[in-house]
Amino acid sequence: MSGQLVNIDLLVKGCHGLPKMDLVGHADPYFILTVTTPGGEEASEPAFRYRSHVHYNTGRPVWNEELYFTRVPVGTKVHIQVMDKDHLSAHDPVGDCELLLDADFLERAMLATASAESVAAEYEPCTPPTATPPTATPPTATPPAASPQRSRPTSSSGISRRSTGALGSDAGDGDGGAGPDGDDTLGRVSTSGAGDAASGLKQLSLGGVSTGAASSVGDALSSPPQFLGLELQMPIRAHASVRRPTAGTLSLGVGCRPCTGGPGTGPGCGTGGLLHRGPVRYRTASSWVAGKLTGHRKPDSGWRAYAAYKLGLAGLNEFFPGGAQQPWNRAYDKAQQVFNSKALRAAVHTQHNMLYADNGKQKRRGVLRGGGDLVTLLRGGVRNSSRRYYTYCINADGAMCFSETGAKFFSDFMSKHAMHADMAEAVVYAGEFTLLPPGLLPPELQQQQAGQAGGAAEAAAPPAGRIDPAEAAADAALATAAAADCCGDKAEGWTLVIDNNSGTYAPASSQLAALGGLLRFNFPGLAVAVVDSLAQKALLAALHRRVPSRCPPPAPAKK
């Protein structure tokens, strides 16, 4: 199969037997996975790099991190380095292992994957998760029905929806460990590549790792993984600072399929280099301080205080090959005040860390398989019986960071683009977005989706002020009811309306089409409409008017 391109699915399940790295506690492990294509050893950056989340105080972390790739050439190397996070000093390397995807290994992996898929039971239809109020008794953590797969061939439904597992302290020390501490391994792979050890690999279905009860909409998106392919028990070569020959064992699942498709079929097996194709991982964090400032004083549908979201988008270089090329707006006076002041820069950086720092507390994690899962995560864009608007930044690492915004001072202050970007000098893109349920799409955007010439027409000037409270409540009820039918890539009638409304970064309108393509690639099943905040001001005002929190409060009547 020399010269052939393949699709590779990886499941980094976890480790066991990691050495004690901390004076107090065991270790705080995470991993860094890099993919290097043939001839790319001399490049300054690998073809792909990913850092996992941290598990605290454990020697048996369970990550269950999925990574899908297409256009993978024979001879590609997958390198995994296990690290120990330190809070007061540099992070310590624990050890590493490497897998060579040579022709012999890929042929065996492809055969095993096809065989496992042929005997796998049929998945049940997609069943939308149900929002569980925070006062209700959490349901038992049983695997829900698998969802339609995200942008994958019909024969590749190998991994069901599940959580990456915010297990917390000692989370990996229970039954969900990466493997038993015995000799019943499923094959060994040398740290220098697959080699002869590949002949000992067996096909299997990985699954049954539970990460806890589903107690909210976000948790209901999750279920234990079921992976069809090979599992490798890979010895971790200890770093020189670790005084032992090996540093434990890493469990890695590998699925392999032929690369199908061609030019003109969208991002996939057409032209170009290695492409990361998902899935989209999300992380949410809540802050009671931010919630206090923005008026989120009561829990709402399981979400505590003020939530910030971080989504890891796939395929960024396919749509934005230049990366972060939108610099902060030097002509914007408010941006000048922030970026030119050391004190304000430090304050915004602290604000970013308060919302986005991954300290293992007040975090939820999971995987989005399509647009329906995004609608479910945001509960149809409704909070406290009112539709919402969000500000977002897509940063250089492909992370889409966003939070709810509003016209009130603190709601606006806690959702600044500079905060989402952590004061980055440049971003990939920035603006605002909202979710529109079936029946609320303006005619101008209906025309854009129908593909009529000229794109979306400019709307007539809307009436001033907000819509009537009864009409706003009806909109929210419509969105909540429609969101109940969404899951996986099932989001019929829903539209993500996104714009470039950012004074801080002032993204170029010419990149709106690329933005729409990126989001359609990551959220199949969800329609995406882009709005130019400069050329379509009336349309933007009409969209804002239907979201009461986005409109300025009415001026008090004069006495």
Asked if residue 130 belongs to a domain, the reply is no
- Contact present, 5 and 19 (Cβ < 8 Å): no
The pLDDT score that the predictor gives to residue 502 is 93
Same-domain status, 459 and 366: yes
Asked if residue 552 belongs to a domain, the reply is no
For 343, the token pair is 């004190």
CATH number at residue 51: 2.60.40.150
- Contact present, 395 and 421 (Cβ < 8 Å): yes
Same-domain status, 314 and 403: yes
- In the block, tokens 């039918």 appear at 485
Q: Is the predicted pLDDT of residue 176 greater than 70, yes or no?
A: no
Instruction: Taking residues 186-202, report their average pLDDT.
Output: 34
Most confident of 136-145, 210-219, 358-367, 495-504: 495-504
Q: pTM of the full predicted structure?
A: 0.77
Same-domain status, 244 and 316: no
**259-304 pLDDT, tens digit each:** 875 444 455 565 678 999 889 999 887 765 555 555 555 555 444 4
Q: How far is CA 3 from its chain centroid?
A: 32
Asked if residue 558 belongs to a domain, the reply is no
Most confident of 40-54, 73-87, 192-206, 436-450: 73-87
Asked if residue 15 belongs to a domain, the reply is yes
Same-domain status, 236 and 287: no
Instruction: Provide the domain limits for residue 491.
Output: 278-546
Asked if residue 265 belongs to a domain, the reply is no
- Contact present, 201 and 186 (Cβ < 8 Å): yes
Same-domain status, 236 and 308: no
Asked if residue 559 belongs to a domain, the reply is no
Same-domain status, 375 and 247: no
Same-domain status, 244 and 300: no
Q: How many domains is the chain built from?
A: 2
For 324, the token pair is 């972060």
Most confident of 150-159, 247-256, 454-463: 247-256
Q: By three-state DSSP, how is residue 336 classified? A: helix
Which residues 6+ apart lie within 8 Å of 410 measured at CB? 293, 294, 295
Instruction: Taking residues 361-385, report their average pLDDT.
Output: 87
| DSSP of 23-49 | SSSS--EEEEEEEE-TT-TTSSS-SEE
Same-domain status, 35 and 75: yes
The pLDDT score that the predictor gives to residue 177 is 32
| Lowest-pLDDT choice from 13-17, 41-45, 99-103, 427-431 | 41-45
Instruction: Taking residues 418-436, report their average pLDDT.
Output: 94
Same-domain status, 327 and 459: yes
Cross-strand partners of 92: 84
Asked if residue 264 belongs to a domain, the reply is no
Same-domain status, 296 and 370: yes
Which residues 6+ apart lie within 8 Å of 160 measured at CB? 123, 143, 146, 147, 223, 224, 225, 226
Distance CA 384, CA 114 (A): 47
- Contact present, 185 and 232 (Cβ < 8 Å): no
| DSSP of 263-297 | TTSSSSSSSSS-EEEEPEEEEEEEEHHHHHHHT--
pLDDT band at residue 175 using 50, 70 and 90 as cut-offs: very low
Same-domain status, 299 and 246: no
**487-503 pLDDT, tens digit each:** 999 999 999 999 999 99
pLDDT band at residue 197 using 50, 70 and 90 as cut-offs: very low
The pLDDT score that the predictor gives to residue 162 is 34
Instruction: Taking residues 92-118, report their average pLDDT.
Output: 89
**326-345 pLDDT, tens digit each:** 999 999 998 899 899 999 89
Same-domain status, 78 and 34: yes
| Lowest-pLDDT choice from 16-20, 143-147, 536-540 | 143-147
Distance CA 250, CA 150 (A): 27
Asked if residue 180 belongs to a domain, the reply is no
Cross-strand partners of 237: 96, 246
